[in-house]
Structure formats: structure tokens, C-alpha cells
Structure 1
Amino acid sequence: MCGASATVVDHIKAHRGDERLFWDRTNWQPLCAPCHNRHKQRQERAPSETPFTTTTTMIDLLE
């Protein structure tokens, strides 16, 4: 979004506990933490049709 280095893997579509969707790499997008937090805060403030998604740091994915 801003051009900064990505530090967070964001789920494009909310996985809601669906492990298949959680680990689907086509559902991931790299974001820097500030852009991710702004994006998710907007979703949390939006009507309930847009749920908050769980995120995983890139470090978590490498472990």
C-alpha cells in the first residue's frame, strides 16, 4: 500500500477459523504493520458484513 517493507501477512478474505482458507497463500497479502492496522481498523468500524480477520506475522509463518 505505502511502499514500506511488509512485516505482516494479512488475510484478504476472512478465514473465520477455516484452516484451508487460513493457509491458502492466494488469500494472503503482505502489508507493513501501520497499513495493516489502518486497514483492519476501517473494517472493524464498518458494518458487521466486513469481519475482522486474524493475522499472522511473517516470523510466525517461518517457524
Structure 2
Amino acid sequence: MSTLSPTSIPLSQPVPIPLGEVLPWAIFAGLILVLAVYFVGAEEGALSIFSGMYVHEFVHDGRHLLGFPCH
């Protein structure tokens, strides 16, 4: 009966991910984040893209949760 010591188990090495594969996804996630912050924080009044208060009411609780004043 042979026993394996911790040194006899091969360790896996991390594989580096090229920056060219990560960068497009990071830019996409950043744009989605900026768009979400815009809709939660600034979509009302003079900066409004959509008329009415529909977007404001949809993100109203998130606006208060993140500390944006709205009324």
C-alpha cells in the first residue's frame, strides 16, 4: 500500500488571460454601468431622454438606496 505525500500530487498552474480578451468585456461592462448610473441618478428633468416620469418611478427605490435625491 503506497501513500501519497502532498509533494507527489501535481499542482495546476494558473493560465494567464490575455488583455485583448478581457478588455472588450471590461469596456462593455463599464458602459452598462455608466448607463445604469445615468438612469438611476439623472433621468429626470432637463436631462431626461424619455418624456414623463416612467423611468423615474421605475428606479425610484434604487435612487434612494444609492443616495440620489429626487424629491
Q: TM-score range by the shorter chain?
A: under 0.3
Question: Larger Rg: 1 or 2?
Answer: 2
Identify the structure with bigger relative contact order (alpha carbons < 8 Å, sequence gap 6+): 1
The structure with the largest strand share of the pair is 1
TM-score where L is the length of structure 2: 0.25
TM-score by length of 1: 0.27
